[in-house]
Structure 1
Amino acid sequence: MTISPTLRVDAMESGAFDAAAFQALRDGGVDCATVTCGFWDDAIEAMDSIARWRDLVAANDQLVAIARNGKDIREITASGRTALLLGFQNTSAMQGRIRFVELFAELGVRVFQLTYNTQNDVGSSCYEGIDAGLTRYGREIVGELNRNGILVDLSHVGEQTCLDAIEASAHPVAVTHANAASLCAHPRNVSDRVIKSLAERGGVIGCALYPNLTGPDYAATLDDWCRMVVHTAGIAGIEHVGIGSDLGGTTDEQSLRWMREGRWTRQANFGAASASNPGDDDPEWFRSMEPFAALSEGLCRQGLDESEAAAVMGGNWMRLYDEVMA
């Protein structure tokens, strides 16, 4: 396994970005981040989002640039900027059209999550009571994502659909932003079975910083969270664990409702939160991306050596990106 020891990668961020948020990425030493371009978007809305992201990046090109593969990431970071990978947390943008995968790839999208918080025509989400697994269309989508150099993301995806997608994919896949359910029991987290299956095929799980997914035992301090990451490495193997904060940009109340409810419900929905704890709070010790580089020190305090910490901080993601992305 080849590790890129100098690159720090956050495999999934969400929220609205501006110059200040991009500067926080730079200040935190984040060399590459996957940004969320959409959750429930149809094709036109998705293209609008990509166009807005291009404008935003062009206006801040001294801080960030869009990458399509590992080579781009290295060139962008060498220029002193943060590389951004464009990602969607749903396949709704395809609108059932298999050929749209190639079109979105040509527009620069490099990460597609199969489902968000409801079942779709690809497979089941983690919140459904019954998971029938990957559909026939879903298998074709996975094949097209493979062919076009797009990473298959299994965050928010149901157990059987995850297992089916791991088996169906010709390339390693990822859970970009979730934690082990055996460490924090939550529907959004993933089982040891999924983590081990993913790792056996060369995939990576990105440990999330979002407190509802870490639970009180691992959310209180940086060292507590790093202890969770080390425990996750005990399940997956150190070469299959990275970081996917699920934080990053800012989120107002209207955006939060859209993320959680989309167009599919008339009722209040709280996503990974709950009616008793409806907020979208960051950890007290991680209010923006500035402390990102310090995660490495915390990992070493929990027993990882410098090479292992570098793998978690970004080396494992870079290995995966080099293998998957065209």
Structure 2
Amino acid sequence: MMIDGLQCGHFDRQAFQSLQAAKVGGVVVTCGFWEGAVESLDSLGQWRDLARDNADIAEIATTSAEVERIGGEGKVAVILGFQNANLFEGRIRFVELFAELGVRVVQLTYNNQNELAGSCYEAEDSGLSRFGKEVVREMNAAGMLVDCSHVGDRSTLDAIEASAKPIAVTHANARSLFDHKRNKSDNVLKALGQTGGVIGCAAYRNITGDEYCSSIEAWCGMVARTVEIAGIDSVAIGTDRSHNFTALDYAWMRQGRWTRGADYGASAAGKPLKAPPPDWFQKVADMGVIPGGLRAVGFSEEDVAKITHKNWLRLYEATFRKA
């Protein structure tokens, strides 16, 4: 099976069926971007309803073993995640409470600096704050995976150092392969490799580039070059694919409540509101070509298994449990 380290959007039964068609047995979903605690609770409630209504094809997973079991049954294991730490609202005890509600992946910052750390888009990366270090330690203890996908490089390296468990970059690429602020330096990728962390290679055109979006072989070639930097045990899939997004969704992601102006995130003025998907990834079910693409660029069956699911399962086993 495959595991996707990050997707977002409005999931529905058709989304789950598309993942099933691609043999994706597990996916980290985005339950929120800028939402506070109460809104995040609403989102978790809605996800529970969605899983309950589609119990024949999807199930919420809170452990590595559950992800493996659910995927092995031909269903989709839903792993609850957030792309920002706003759900904690500055309260250290909320980390444990949200973990007990099933949240397993939390990104320290989204596109702005917050009280925990610096974002990739700030002119100066402040590094991990004192509170950020406390939250990382609390996440370790509660069984949450620390995600640094939109986090600045200095803050990411600080998080790797502060964390007693390996961390993730669930959806980004190597900056040395495609120069974008959202992507990670070789120093970060090597630090992930040295500490058991994992990067999920993204298929979002704005941070992947037209060259690597031109064919499945080109994208898998990018994965192979990422493996050369981070190591075969630290590279996986994190497509950053969205489901059923509207203009209002893009505005919320990019602007939230913090600006009256236009903020483009990973995009830029003059680009389409929705970046065109990779040429090989026009619909979600097209993810099914990834294993064959990895074989085509020279990966062994063992390495294909690591990239498609085993590296995520190992990381989940190391992090989705109380310390």
**2:80–2:104: 8 Å Cα contact kept in structure 1?**
yes
2:302 aligns with 307
Q: Does 1:131 align with 2:125?
A: yes
Q: Distance in 2 between matches of 1:238 and 1:75?
A: 24
Q: In the TM superposition, what is the alpha-carbon distance from 1:289 to its structure 2 partner? A: 2.0
Name the SS for the 1:187 alignment partner: coil
Name the SS for the 1:65 alignment partner: strand
Q: Deviations over 1:86-138 (max 9, x none)?
A: 00000011110000000000110000000000000001100000111000000
Opposite residue 111 of structure 1, the aligned amino acid is V
Opposite residue 138 of structure 2, the aligned amino acid is E
Q: Distance in 1 between matches of 2:216 and 2:115?
A: 39
Opposite residue 311 of structure 1, the aligned amino acid is K
**1:115–1:125: 8 Å Cα contact kept in structure 2?**
yes
Identity %: 48
2:135 aligns with 141
Q: What aligned pairs does 1:228-307 form with structure 2 within 5 A after superposition?
A: 228-280=222-274, 281-307=276-302
Q: How many residues align?
A: 320
2:312 aligns with 317
Q: Distance in 1 between matches of 2:68 and 2:303?
A: 20
Name the SS for the 1:122 alignment partner: coil
Structure 2 segments unaligned to the other structure (5+ residues): none
1:174 aligns with 168
Q: Distance in 1 between matches of 2:71 and 2:125?
A: 41
2:99 aligns with 105
Determine which of 53, 57, 77 is the counterpart of 1:59: 53
**2:247–2:273: 8 Å Cα contact kept in structure 1?**
no
**1:21–1:248: 8 Å Cα contact kept in structure 2?**
no
1:159 aligns with 153
**1:101–1:148: 8 Å Cα contact kept in structure 2?**
yes
**2:23–2:74: 8 Å Cα contact kept in structure 1?**
no
Opposite residue 314 of structure 2, the aligned amino acid is R
Q: Deviations over 1:207-255 (max 9, x none)?
A: 0000111112211111111110000000001111000000042211101
Q: In the TM superposition, what is the alpha-carbon distance from 1:279 to its structure 2 partner? A: 2.5
Q: In the TM superposition, what is the alpha-carbon distance from 1:79 to its structure 2 partner? A: 2.8
Q: Distance in 2 between matches of 1:212 and 1:23?
A: 26
**1:217–1:224: 8 Å Cα contact kept in structure 2?**
yes
Q: Does 1:37 align with 2:31?
A: yes
Q: Distance in 2 between matches of 1:29 and 1:302?
A: 21
Larger RCO, structure (CA 8 Å, separation 6 or more): 1
Q: Deviations over 1:4-62 (max 9, x none)?
A: xxx31000001111111110011110010000000000000000000011101111111
Opposite residue 308 of structure 1, the aligned amino acid is D
Structure 1 segments unaligned to the other structure (5+ residues): 1-6
Q: Distance in 2 between matches of 1:276 and 1:291?
A: 28
Q: Distance in 2 between matches of 1:145 and 1:239?
A: 23
TM-score by length of 2: 0.97
Name the SS for the 1:224 alignment partner: helix
**2:250–2:273: 8 Å Cα contact kept in structure 1?**
no
Q: In the TM superposition, what is the alpha-carbon distance from 1:80 to its structure 2 partner? A: 2.4
